[in-house]
């Protein structure tokens, strides 16, 4: 009993989906709870930050952090948990690459705050009150944790040992990661708990993917009645399988939806969005500039599509800063 | 807007035509803006979109891709691939707040030294008008400044409190 390994889970800028991937372990979570002691998990257990701070350094065997980093609070918690844990896992696309919340880097904080707190049609805020780092009322000063000017991945803030990709990761991968720790069969540091090759290699539709492929225009899934057996690209539907790390057991494909790239780039690719652009460019069936422009127009919001999960960790990191 | 801003233009020049064209301009002692930083690639089709973004990230204010005329590619259709990528990269620039004119693709044969000079000059002038590009700061640098945060403060406060309580308790204990 005394020597049970300790596990901690924490969320930063997260939608809660990754927490769900832990809950979805269902009965398996009992096995984990049997073999390990969960010392900190704000979503499910009552523990305070202070309880973590009082642990010895390295006392936690493994910590899983999900969500991206965009508040001072996230940074201090990530740093604290890093200090207290022997192993740190980036859990899910947001911690891995910045994730969907990382798309915020296409906008300025001002735009985001105005949109969320004032301009959304369901919000009624005529005085345009925005959250501020400090509010004074008489002699009391109320403080809010600072909002960073950009979203970051966990890797950009602390040293990360392993990554569980996915948005959210399939429960099987979460289980595998935890079992890796409990059974002490750890891969080399920096490993990503998934395949090293692209999704296409394990896709059930790969046989229908032709060697050479060119499409006259791209289609969105609602625009056609697509064949549930055929490779999506072959039907002109954008599928990120060729440039996305496999290991998800092709869950989206099996649910008859094309891949959107949540497992991130394959090994040796630095910028997932740029690689996705390269992929789709090679499929465009034309050599005439005007015609090509027309094909490109059939992809709405290319930036958002290609960088859906990886903007914060891409080469550009987001929108350029405006000149004053 | 008149300015003395000197933009940096990174040019990817294909080995077989455009680089030769640039060389010919040099041999003929033609003048062209020194803003261009040439990177020789074997084919314009070698220019991965990652290269373009890496150039912007590392300080380029504009990126120029120069290749052989369509039909003249040393590798048959590398330049057509370049054209496809170029059209798609252009469509992504808006989201990044990068003006479309900061990226330009053109065809320059080994004999077109005048065209080379003209394209480089035009590009330099256009980017000079657009001004400097400022990519997002390197993530780690900014964070290292010691921003004391609410939680760190709270934690310090709590730890002090614990200490106080335990010393007080010890005192009471010892006076007993
Ligand atoms: S990785 Fe996906 S599921 Fe997990 S927190 Fe981010 S958006 Fe939610
Ligand atoms: S492109 Fe998509 S549908 Fe086609 S084989 Fe690859 S993952 Fe499967």
Assess B94–A contact: CB distance below 8 Å, yes or no. yes
Place of tokens 């084919």: B43
CA distance B90 to chain A (A): 10
Average pLDDT over residues A236-254: 96
Long-range contacts of B2-5 (CB under 8 A, 24+ apart): B3/B128, B3/B131, B5/B128, B5/B131, B5/B132
Average pLDDT over residues A227-250: 95
In this prediction, residue B142 has a pLDDT band, given cuts at 50, 70 and 90, of: very low
Task: Give the CATH number for residue B87.
Answer: 3.40.50
Q: Are A221 and A173 in contact (CB under 8 A)?
A: no
Interacting residues of A300 by C-beta distance below 8 A, sequence separation 6+: A220
Instruction: Render pLDDT for A121-141 as a digit per residue (tens, 0 to 9).
Output: 999 999 999 998 888 989 999
- Owning domain of residue B155: 135-169
What does the pLDDT read at residue A3? 77
Angle between helices A171-182 and A28-35 (to 10 degrees): 20
CA distance B41 to chain A (A): 17
Assess B1–A contact: CB distance below 8 Å, yes or no. no
Residues of B in contact with A146 (CB under 8 A): 147, 149
Number of domains in chain B: 2
> Could you report the predicted ipTM of this complex, rounded to two decimals?
0.92
Residues of B in contact with A307 (CB under 8 A): 95
Assess B100–A contact: CB distance below 8 Å, yes or no. no
What does the pLDDT read at residue B2? 56
Where are chain A's structural domains? 6-100+149-182, 108-146, 199-306
- B176 domain residue, yes or no: no
* pLDDT mean across residues, chain B: 86
Instruction: Render pLDDT for B76-130 as a digit per residue (tens, 0 to 9).
Output: 999 999 999 999 999 999 999 999 999 999 999 999 999 999 999 999 999 999 9
Which of A43-47, A69-73, A87-91 is predicted most confidently?
A87-91
What does the pLDDT read at residue B152? 52
Are A278 and B85 inside 8 Å of each other by CB? Answer: yes
Residues of B in contact with A289 (CB under 8 A): 83, 87
What does the pLDDT read at residue B176? 66
- B34 domain residue, yes or no: yes
Question: Ramachandran region of residue B37, left (φ > 0), alpha (ψ -120 to 50) or beta?
Answer: beta
Percent above pLDDT 70 for chain A: 98
> A234 vs A30, A219, A228, A242, A272, CA distance in Å?
44, 11, 12, 12, 21
Average pLDDT over residues A183-196: 94
- B4 domain residue, yes or no: no
Are B95 and A281 inside 8 Å of each other by CB? Answer: no
Collapsed DSSP state (helix, strand, coil) of residue A262? coil
Same domain, B119 and B161: no
Interacting residues of A53 by C-beta distance below 8 A, sequence separation 6+: A80, B155, B158, B159
The two structure tokens encoding residue A295:
């094909």
The two structure tokens encoding residue A190:
């920096």
> B117 vs A261, A310, B7, B19, B72, CA distance in Å?
42, 39, 16, 12, 21
Instruction: Render pLDDT for A144-166 as a digit per residue (tens, 0 to 9).
Output: 888 998 999 999 999 999 999 99
Same domain, B152 and B112: no
> B56 vs B63, B95, B137, CA distance in Å?
7, 14, 13
Query: In terms of DSSP H, where are the helices of chain B?
Result: 18-27, 49-57, 78-96, 113-130, 139-144, 150-175
Which CATH number is A6-100+149-182 given? Answer: 3.40.50.700
Residues of B in contact with A156 (CB under 8 A): 139-140
What does the pLDDT read at residue B156? 60
Distance (Å, whole) CA A221 – CA B10: 39
Are B134 and A321 inside 8 Å of each other by CB? Answer: yes
Q: Answer positive or negative: Cα dihedral of A125, A131, A132, A135.
A: positive
End-to-end CA distance of chain B: 83
pLDDT, greater one: A211 or A98: A98
Question: Ramachandran region of residue A245, left (φ > 0), alpha (ψ -120 to 50) or beta?
Answer: beta
In this prediction, residue B151 has a pLDDT band, given cuts at 50, 70 and 90, of: very low
Same domain, B139 and B67: no
Residue B87 is nearest to which of A53, A157, A293, comparing CB atoms?
A: A293
Interacting residues of A140 by C-beta distance below 8 A, sequence separation 6+: none
- In chain A, the residue whose alpha carbon lies closest to the alpha carbon of B158 is A50
Angle subtended at Cα A284 by Cα A282 and Cα A287, rounded to the nearest 5 degrees: 95
Same domain, B128 and B143: no
Inform me whether the pLDDT recorded for B161 exceeds 70: no
Same domain, B140 and B105: no
Instruction: Report the greatest alpha carbon distance in chain B.
Output: 101
In this prediction, residue B39 has a pLDDT band, given cuts at 50, 70 and 90, of: very high
Same domain, B20 and B54: yes
Average pLDDT over residues A3-10: 92
Distance (Å, whole) CA B13 – CA B68: 9
Same domain, B125 and B140: no
Instruction: Render pLDDT for A79-116 as a digit per residue (tens, 0 to 9).
Output: 999 999 999 999 999 999 999 999 999 999 999 999 99
Q: Is A15 in the pocket of ligand 1 (CB under 6 A)?
A: yes
Percent above pLDDT 90 for chain A: 83
Residue A271 is nearest to which of B53, B91, B158, comparing CB atoms?
A: B53
Q: What number does the ligand 2 atom closest to the CA of A234 have?
A: 4
Q: Answer positive or negative: Cα dihedral of A226, A228, A232, A235.
A: negative
> B147 vs A42, A65, A70, CA distance in Å?
24, 22, 14
Same domain, B162 and B86: no
Q: Are A85 and A60 in contact (CB under 8 A)?
A: yes
pTM recorded for the entire structure: 0.88
Same domain, B116 and B160: no
Q: What number does the ligand 1 atom closest to the CA of A166 have?
A: 1
End-to-end CA distance of chain A: 61
Instruction: Render pLDDT for A18-43 as a digit per residue (tens, 0 to 9).
Output: 999 999 988 888 888 889 999 999 99
Instruction: Kindly give the pairing relationship between strand A60-66 and strand A6-11.
Output: parallel
Residues of B in contact with A160 (CB under 8 A): none
Distance (Å, whole) CA A207 – CA A52: 51
Place of tokens 């935890």: A178
Interacting residues of B85 by C-beta distance below 8 A, sequence separation 6+: A277, A278, A281, A282, B47, B49
Count other Cβ atoms within 10 Å, centred on residue A13: 23
Q: Is A100 in the pocket of ligand 1 (CB under 6 A)?
A: yes
Instruction: Render pLDDT for A256-265 as a digit per residue (tens, 0 to 9).
Output: 999 999 999 9
Instruction: Among B52, B92, B100, pick the best mutation site for testing chain A contact (most A Cβ within 10 A).
Output: B92
What does the pLDDT read at residue B175? 74
In this prediction, residue B149 has a pLDDT band, given cuts at 50, 70 and 90, of: very low
- B3 domain residue, yes or no: no
Q: What number does the ligand 2 atom closest to the CA of A239 have?
A: 2
In this prediction, residue B5 has a pLDDT band, given cuts at 50, 70 and 90, of: very high
Instruction: Render pLDDT for A266-311 as a digit per residue (tens, 0 to 9).
Output: 998 999 999 999 999 999 999 999 999 999 999 999 999 999 999 9
The two structure tokens encoding residue B45:
């089709």
Same domain, B63 and B148: no
Same domain, B108 and B159: no
Q: Are A181 and A172 in contact (CB under 8 A)?
A: no
Distance (Å, whole) CA B12 – CA B58: 15
Angle subtended at Cα A77 by Cα A191 and Cα A110, rounded to the nearest 5 degrees: 100
In this prediction, residue A323 has a pLDDT band, given cuts at 50, 70 and 90, of: low
- B90 domain residue, yes or no: yes
Average pLDDT over residues B131-142: 70
Instruction: Kindly give the pairing relationship between strand A69-71 and strand A147-152.
Output: antiparallel
What does the pLDDT read at residue A29? 84
What does the pLDDT read at residue A183? 92
What does the pLDDT read at residue B153? 55
Name residues contacting ligand 2 (CB within 6 A): A 199-200, 203, 205-206, 209, 231-233, 239, 241-242, 253, 259
pLDDT, greater one: B168 or B71: B71
Q: Answer positive or negative: Cα dihedral of A163, A262, A26, A83.
A: positive
Same domain, B118 and B161: no
């Amino acid at each position: 009993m005394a020597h049970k390994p300790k596990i901690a889970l924490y969320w930063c800028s997260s939608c809660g989906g990754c927490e769900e991937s832990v809950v979805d372990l269902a009965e398996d979570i009992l096995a984990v709870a049997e073999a390990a002691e969960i010392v900190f998990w704000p979503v499910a257990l009552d523990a305070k930050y202070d309880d973590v701070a009082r642990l010895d350094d390295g006392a936690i065997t493994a910590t899983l952090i999900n969500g991206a980093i965009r508040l001072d609070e996230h940074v201090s918690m990530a740093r604290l948990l890093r200090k207290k844990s022997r192993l740190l896992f980036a859990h899910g696309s947001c911690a891995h690459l910045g994730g969907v919340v990382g798309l915020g880097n296409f906008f300025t904080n001002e735009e985001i705050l105005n949109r969320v707190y004032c301009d959304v049609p369901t919000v009624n805020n005529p005085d345009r009150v925005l959250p501020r780092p400090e509010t004074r009322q008489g002699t009391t000063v109320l403080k809010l944790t600072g909002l960073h000017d950009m979203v970051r991945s966990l890797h950009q803030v602390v040293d990360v040992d392993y990554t569980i990709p996915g948005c959210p990761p399939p429960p099987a991968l979460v289980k595998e990661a935890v079992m890796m720790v409990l059974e002490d069969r750890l891969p080399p540091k920096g490993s990503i708990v998934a395949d090293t090759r692209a999704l296409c290699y394990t896709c059930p539709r790969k046989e229908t993917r032709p060697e050479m492929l060119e499409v006259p225009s791209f289609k969105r899934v609602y625009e056609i009645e697509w064949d549930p057996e055929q490779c999506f690209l072959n039907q002109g539907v954008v599928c990120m399988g060729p440039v996305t790390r496999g290991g998800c057991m092709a869950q989206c494909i099996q649910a008859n939806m094309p891949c959107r790239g949540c497992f991130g780039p394959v090994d040796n690719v630095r910028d997932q969005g740029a690689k996705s652009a390269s992929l789709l460019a090679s499929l465009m069936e034309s050599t005439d500039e005007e015609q090509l422009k027309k094909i490109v127009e059939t992809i709405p919001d290319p930036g958002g599509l290609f960088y859906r999960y990886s903007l914060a960790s891409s080469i550009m990191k987001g929108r350029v800063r405006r000149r004053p | 807007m008149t300015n003395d801003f000197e933009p940096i233009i990174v040019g990817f020049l294909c080995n077989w035509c455009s680089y030769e064209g640039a060389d010919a301009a040099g041999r003929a002692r033609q003048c062209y803006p020194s803003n261009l930083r040439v990177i020789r690639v074997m084919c314009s089709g070698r220019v991965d979109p990652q290269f373009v973004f890496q150039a912007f990230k590392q300080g380029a204010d504009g990126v120029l891709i120069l290749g052989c005329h369509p039909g003249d590619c040393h590798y048959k259709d590398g330049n057509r691939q370049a054209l496809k990528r170029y059209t798609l990269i252009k469509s992504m620039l808006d989201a990044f707040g990068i003006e479309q004119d900061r990226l330009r693709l053109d065809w320059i044969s080994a004999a077109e030294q005048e065209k080379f000079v003209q394209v480089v000059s035009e590009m330099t002038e256009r980017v000079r008008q657009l001004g400097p590009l400022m990519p997002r700061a390197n993530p780690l640098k900014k964070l290292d400044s010691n921003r004391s945060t609410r939680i760190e403060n709270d934690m310090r406060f709590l730890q002090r409190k614990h200490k106080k309580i335990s010393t007080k308790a010890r005192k009471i204990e010892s006076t007993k």
